[in-house]
């Protein structure tokens, strides 16, 4: 039997009937391992006569790899294969989110209070004082997660319906990490005017607008127009969520090498949504010199307009003290390009522009890839803090406060750049820092008291 090393690209659920006697489960698991399958969860579903019906999670490289495992498993006496399915698709059956009531309905009296005629009292209260809309509805705790499907993850322009699972995932994170309701909204258009007008029209249903996976350069114009038209937090996460976490990572990287970020020349390789957002936030943070490179002349011109200096990749690598790469091009930065004592963050996933170990071997003072630099460390707390403060926008001061809060939680003993995503203390701290920054920067809408 040939051993195959799995690269764990796929997760499969294998359901099998296993003879309920010593040794049979061991034979099955040994065979899977010998075939290069990486075993995850093992679950007993039920006992069925002389068999145990189990589900085994298996990580495999591709469908052909799974077929070879099934062939070998099928040769084991006392094992009967029932089914095999994609574990990720199984998890998404029926979607990942739902709408649930916060109030109990146990009698006709309850219905009269939450619906007619009782609800008329709430409607008249809001009519008399429209700002109380935020106190008596779920809107203050609700974020629209909006996409037009033109730049979904690393998949590109795959359309709004194919992008819906990503929007649901963002909604799950908002609820899990900071208790906000995330509502996916699909705008099936690549026309800027249509996108802007649609979002403005539906905006009263939400407390904030989270733009997700809009392609560059349209994302810049759409966000700009929405901020101008709406007195509510609006943020394109691909730009600003990524920028906040990158700034947090750089704050810690500078601490580890004993330098000040403001005095470093920072090179941005790739000036799409993420790269441009990073450049803008670093400029706001006080970084004096930002250089950059992109194949798109318009992207380079945007950098010039914000005070940056476009140049070639070779010139950038020779000039920059800090390099942040967001191109999605594996191996773009060659080891011979690395300058002594550079800091390199190659953030493209799953394959970085240069592997950290290669950069360090070539003389970098510090190097990391994008595995931990996840914008989910930023956007939940940013929106929670903005909504807690009744903020009319999310400004640079709030973003910088978020980055500083994130940076504090990284494990300095291990020289981590950012903390673990699922640490609830991180998101609480980000929300508090953002709320404070909103008040300090004067972007807070004053809501009259309930009894006013």
CATH of the domain at 321: 3.40.50.720
Co-location of 220 and 244 in the same domain: no
Is there a domain that residue 282 lies in? yes
Name which of 390, 336, 381, 386 is nearest 363 in CA terms: 336
Whether 3 has a pLDDT exceeding 80, the answer reads: no
Co-location of 30 and 146 in the same domain: no
Task: Give me the DSSP letters along 184-199.
Answer: EEE-----HHHHHHHH
Residue for token digits 């070998």? Answer: 72
Is there a domain that residue 165 lies in? yes
Co-location of 227 and 287 in the same domain: no
DSSP three-state, residue 269:
strand
Co-location of 306 and 451 in the same domain: yes
Co-location of 265 and 128 in the same domain: no
Q: How far apart are CA 272 and CA 281, in angstroms?
A: 14
The last residue of a domain, from among 216, 232, 248: 232
Is there a domain that residue 202 lies in? yes
Is there a domain that residue 401 lies in? yes
- 7-25 confidence digits (pLDDT tens): 457 999 999 999 999 999 9
Q: How far apart are CA 306 and CA 266, in angstroms?
A: 14
Co-location of 186 and 310 in the same domain: no
The last residue of a domain, from among 180, 207, 232: 232
Is there a domain that residue 22 lies in? yes
Co-location of 363 and 264 in the same domain: yes
Give ∠ CA 238-244-293 in degrees, rounded to 5: 65
Co-location of 353 and 439 in the same domain: yes
Whether 4 has a pLDDT exceeding 70, the answer reads: no
Name which of 250, 243, 194, 247 is nearest 218 in CA terms: 194
Where are any strands of DSSP class E within 106-155?
142-147
Q: How far apart are CA 260 and CA 450, in angstroms?
A: 47
**Residue 189's CATH number:** 3.40.50.10380
Is there a domain that residue 4 lies in? no
Decide: residue 94, CB within 10 A, 0-12 exposed, 13-18 middle, 19+ buried: exposed
CB 59 within 8 A of CB 37: yes
CB 25 within 8 A of CB 90: no
CB 347 within 8 A of CB 246: yes
* Exposure on the CB side of residue 390, measured as CA atoms within 13 A: 10
**Residue 68's CATH number:** 3.30.70.260
Whether 154 has a pLDDT exceeding 90, the answer reads: no
- What average pLDDT is seen over the chain? 94
Is there a domain that residue 264 lies in? yes
Domain that holds residue 50: 10-92
Q: Which residues are catalytic?
A: 115, 170
Task: Give me the DSSP letters along 407-434.
Answer: HHTS-TTTT-SS--TT-HHHHHHHHHHH
Is there a domain that residue 3 lies in? no
The last residue of a domain, from among 208, 232, 256: 232
Co-location of 248 and 285 in the same domain: yes
Which residues lie below 8 Å from residue 315, measured CB to CB, with a gap of 6+? 291
452 band by pLDDT with thresholds 50, 70 and 90: very low
Report the DSSP pairing between strands 10-19 and 322-325.
unpaired
Co-location of 205 and 341 in the same domain: no
Number of domain units in the chain: 3
- 340-393 confidence digits (pLDDT tens): 999 999 998 888 999 999 999 999 999 999 887 889 999 999 999 999 999 999
406 band by pLDDT with thresholds 50, 70 and 90: very high
- 228-257 confidence digits (pLDDT tens): 999 999 999 999 999 999 999 999 999 999
Co-location of 245 and 388 in the same domain: yes
Co-location of 228 and 250 in the same domain: no
């Amino acid at each position: 039997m040939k051993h195959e090393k799995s690269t764990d690209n796929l997760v499969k659920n294998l359901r099998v009937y296993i003879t309920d006697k010593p040794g049979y489960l061991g034979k099955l698991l040994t065979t899977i391992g010998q075939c290069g399958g990486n075993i995850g969860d093992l679950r007993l579903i039920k006992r069925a006569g002389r068999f145990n019906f189990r589900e085994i999670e298996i990580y495999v490289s591709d469908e052909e790899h799974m077929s070879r495992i099934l062939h070998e498993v099928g040769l084991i006496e006392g094992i009967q294969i029932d089914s095999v399915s994609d574990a990720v698709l199984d998890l998404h059956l029926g979607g990942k989110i739902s709408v649930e009531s916060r109030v109990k309905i146990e009698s006709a009296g309850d219905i009269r209070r939450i619906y007619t005629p009782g609800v008329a009292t709430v409607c008249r209260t809001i009519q008399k004082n429209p700002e109380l809309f935020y106190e008596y509805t779920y809107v203050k705790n609700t974020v629209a997660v909006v996409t037009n499907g033109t730049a979904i993850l690393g998949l590109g322009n795959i359309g709004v319906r194919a992008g819906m699972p990503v929007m649901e995932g963002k909604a799950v994170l908002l609820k899990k990490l900071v208790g906000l309701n995330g509502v996916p909204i699909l705008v099936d258009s690549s026309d800027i005017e249509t996108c802007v007008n649609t979002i403005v029209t539906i905006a009263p249903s939400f407390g904030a607008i989270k733009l997700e996976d809009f392609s560059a350069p349209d994302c810049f114009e759409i966000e700009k127009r929405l901020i101008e038209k709406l007195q509510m937090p609006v943020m394109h996460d691909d730009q600003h969520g990524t920028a906040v976490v990158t700034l947090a990572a750089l704050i810690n990287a500078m601490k580890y090498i004993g330098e000040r970020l403001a005095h470093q020349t920072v090179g941005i390789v790739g000036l799409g949504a993420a790269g441009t957002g990073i450049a803008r936030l670093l400029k706001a943070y006080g970084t004096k010199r930002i250089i950059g490179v992109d194949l798109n002349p318009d992207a380079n011109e945007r950098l010039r307009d914000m005070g940056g200096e476009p140049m070639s990749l070779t010139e950038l690598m020779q000039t920059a003290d800090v390099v942040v790469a967001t191109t999605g091009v594996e191996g773009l930065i060659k080891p011979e390009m690395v300058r002594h004592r550079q800091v390199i963050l190659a953030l493209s996933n799953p394959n970085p522009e240069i592997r950290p170990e290669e950069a360090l071997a070539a003389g970098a003072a510090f190097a990391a890839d994008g595995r931990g630099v996840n914008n989910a460390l930023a956007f939940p707390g940013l929106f929670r803090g903005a909504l807690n403060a009744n903020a009319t926008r999310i400004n640079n001061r709030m973003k910088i406060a978020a980055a500083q809060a994130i940076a504090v939680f990284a494990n300095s003993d291990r020289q981590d750049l950012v903390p673990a995503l699922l640490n609830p203390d991180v998101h609480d701290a980000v929300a508090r820092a953002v709320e404070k920054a909103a008040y300090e920067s004067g972007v807070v809408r004053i809501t009259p008291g309930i009894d006013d």
